[in-house]
Amino acid sequence: MTNAGPGRDRTAPLPARIGGRVELLPRVLSAVVLAAVALALAWAGGPAFDLFWFAAALAVLWEWHGLVAAPRRGPLTLLGGAALAVAAALAARGDPGRAVLALLLGSAVTLLLARGARRGLAALGPLYAGVLAVATPVLRHSALDGAAIVFWLFAVVWGTDTLAFFGGRALRGPKLAPRLSPSKTWSGFVVGVGSGALLGLAVAPRPVEATLVFAAGLVGGALAQAGDLFESSLKRRCGAKDAGSLIPGHGGVMDRLDGFIAASALAAAVGLWRFGPDGVGAGLLQW
């Protein structure tokens, strides 16, 4: 998760500036390594791609229950992980409908077993993490634009995320959601979403209806930022700074993928509605 914050204080002492750069280095290195792995697997497709996103879904589920259901984190993650495994297997077979039913069943059982005031939030865990285990592989396996939609999502989400960060630092201005994410600004939001949409248009397969694909990128980028804010609100409610500590410089897996979860859910939903399972990848690219 990347925050678009105010620019660096040019009057700050030199050690403070150096310290900021040192803190940024692990973030950049982690992002480069993860991006390289994700791009290579998206290009290759197949079981390795599915396993990568299933592992990401398990990590997100573990972090989710660490936030909302710590006393029963292990059992609830085990239960939800079983639902994720069934859903991922069904998605790999081209059956997203039953995959979603498996996630709903996992959420229902989680609701029965969870305790405390956050039972409802705990029950959302399998559905939230399940987007990675189901929607992303279903998109990649699409006979129409399977690889293209994944690369498009990467361009839109990563572009929005990165350019919102640097745009907000450079331009500053009014805060976007000061109670949820104090460092995010409206300038960063506009720069990020616009840049992400342009990058999405640049990587989209030709020929495309440029205006509509650009508009889809704007919606996808805005939704990615909303996903970021949703996770920020969850962490604030649970009194946590990060969802985890697995990724140096970023926090947890959920901190890195919150925007992608929201955007890929949109792409899968629109694709299934417009073209069905075989053409789901074309939902946001062919108009």
Residue 263: per-residue pLDDT: 98
Residue 72: per-residue pLDDT: 84
Classify residue 242: in a domain, yes or no.
Answer: yes
> Measured between alpha carbons, how far is 284 from 130 in angstroms, rounded to an integer?
21
Residue 183 has pLDDT above 80, yes or no: yes
Confidence (pTM) = 0.88
Residue 15: per-residue pLDDT: 46
Mean pLDDT, to the nearest integer, of 105-130?
A: 93
Last residue of a domain, one of 141, 176, 207: 141
Judge if 118 and 162 occupy the same domain.
Answer: no
pLDDT in tens, 208-231: 899 999 999 999 999 999 999 999
Residue 22: per-residue pLDDT: 55
Classify residue 4: in a domain, yes or no.
Answer: no
Question: Strand 181-185 vs strand 175-177: parallel, antiparallel, or unpaired?
Answer: antiparallel
Q: Give the DSSP H/E element, type plus range, for residue 162.
A: helix 146-171
Last residue of a domain, one of 126, 141, 156: 141
Structural domain span for residue 107: 45-141
**Structure confidence at residue 2 as a pLDDT band (50, 70, 90):** very low
pLDDT mean across residues, the chain? 90
Burial of 254 (0-12, 13-18, 19+ CB in 10 A): buried
Residue 103 has pLDDT above 90, yes or no: yes
- Count other C-beta atoms under 10 Å from residue 190's C-beta: 18
Classify residue 133: in a domain, yes or no.
Answer: yes
Lowest mean pLDDT among 1-5, 47-51, 165-169, 177-181: 1-5
Judge if 29 and 151 occupy the same domain.
Answer: yes
Residue 1 has pLDDT above 50, yes or no: no
> Measured between alpha carbons, how far is 204 from 220 in angstroms, rounded to an integer?
14
pLDDT in tens, 138-154: 999 999 999 999 999 99
Residue 21: per-residue pLDDT: 58
pLDDT in tens, 238-274: 888 888 878 777 789 999 999 999 999 999 999 999 9
Q: How many domains does the chain contain in total?
A: 2
Q: Give the DSSP H/E element, type plus range, for residue 181.
A: strand 181-185
- Count other C-beta atoms under 10 Å from residue 40's C-beta: 12
Classify residue 247: in a domain, yes or no.
Answer: yes
DSSP readout, 226-251? HHHHHHHHHHHHHT-S-S-SSBTTTB
pLDDT in tens, 71-87: 789 999 999 999 999 99
Contact in structure between 283 and 267 (CB atoms under 8 Å): yes
Helix, strand or coil, per DSSP, at residue 177: strand
Which residues touch 100 (CB under 8 Å, ≥6 apart)? 87, 130, 134
Contact in structure between 248 and 255 (CB atoms under 8 Å): no
